[in-house]
Amino acid sequence: MSAAPPRLRTGRDPEMREYRLGSAVLTTYRGWCKGCDLCINSCPASILALADDDRIEVTDVSRCIFCGICVVRCPDFVFSMRRDRSAR
Ligand code: SF4
Ligand code: SF4
pLDDT per position as a tens digit, 52-85: 999 999 999 999 999 999 999 999 999 999 999 8
CATH topology of domain 7-83: Alpha-Beta Plaits (3.30.70)
| Cβ burial, residue 75 (10 Å; 0-12/13-18/19+) | exposed
Domain ranges of the chain: 7-83
Contacts of 40 (CB under 8 A, 6+ apart): 48, 49, 50, 56
* pTM of the entire predicted model: 0.87
Contacts of 46 (CB under 8 A, 6+ apart): none
10: three-class secondary structure by DSSP: strand
Which residues approach ligand 2 with their CB closer than 6 A? 33-39, 56, 73-74, 76, 78
Residue 40 in this model has a pLDDT that exceeds 90: yes
Q: Give, for ligand 1, the residue of 19, 48, 79 to mutate: max count of ligand atoms closer than 8 Å to Cβ.
A: 48
* Residue 43 in contact with ligand 1 by CB distance below 6 A: yes
Amino acid at 44: P
Counting ligands in written order, the one closest to the CA of 28 is 2
Residue 23 in this model has a pLDDT that exceeds 70: yes
